[in-house]
Structure 1
């Protein structure tokens, strides 16, 4: 008998932002990713990516020649101090204030900061408070 663990997919497979100034976007995202401990996955002259976020120029093959509209992306932070560091790093890297670090009324323990990236996207870092116990993984057993 063999045990196989099924990992269900995430709601979002990937997100692409198409920006006019890739250098400014890269400076901004590299600064906030460093604070959030997210490594840059790769890059070329017309794009870069990290985890499920892909940022490119309008001339990139996948962009179809158009920039994307304004989006709201929220990155998870490990604690309130990381949210504050995200905010400072984002502002220092060309972001604009869109909501200083602090508690929000969305649910108890919601601590977040909001910054507009160089392309005008609303970028958030959020800490949801201490982790609660999660449901166990789904395991299936089958005979081969």
Structure 2
């Protein structure tokens, strides 16, 4: 039996987006997640996944033929330069501007960029400022 390993660290176990054009979404998420050092696992079963995010076509057995609609999803970035690179990658791979990189009023040091993915989901990369983590993530092996 193959051992699977997942990395978890916060509130969400997983999020599934059901999209109209799986290839367009694969191109978009491959580009923006590469900037964030998050690998994508592509399958031949109408979906791909990256850590807690699953993106599938409406034909996927888990989608039941229904698109998910518009969501807001924020990815953590390691610094401001990563937020900037995320934004550029999104613009170059089918994303639409929904808020160029800048500091936001949410709290001091909140630096973020917002883009719309090919299905209109509001995708954000955010850097909260200098901080120290007790661990990068929690590893779950099964």
- TM normalised by structure 1 equals 0.84
Instruction: Give the equivalent residue in structure 1 for 2:48.
Output: 48
Specify whether residues 133 and 95 from structure 1 end up closer, same or farther in structure 2 by C-alpha distance, changes over 3 A only: closer
Q: Does 1:15 align with 2:15?
A: yes
Instruction: Give the equivalent residue in structure 2 for 1:71.
Output: 71
Question: How far has the Cα of 1:42 moved from its partner?
Answer: 3.7
Unaligned stretches of 5+ in structure 1?
1-7, 135-144
In 1, Cα distance between equivalents of 2:92 and 2:129? 26
Instruction: Give the equivalent residue in structure 2 for 1:112.
Output: 112
Question: How far has the Cα of 1:12 moved from its partner?
Answer: 1.1
After the TM superposition, which segments of 4 or more aligned residues of structure 1 sit over 6 Å from their partners? none
Specify whether residues 58 and 31 from structure 1 end up closer, same or farther in structure 2 by C-alpha distance, changes over 3 A only: same
Q: Does 1:32 align with 2:32?
A: yes
- TM normalised by structure 2 equals 0.85
Task: Report which of the two structures shows the higher radius of gyration computed on alpha carbons.
Answer: 1
Unaligned stretches of 5+ in structure 2?
1-7, 135-142
- Deviation readout 1:100-120 (Å, 9 max, x if unpaired): 000000000000000000000
Root-mean-square deviation (CA, aligned residues, Å) is 1.7
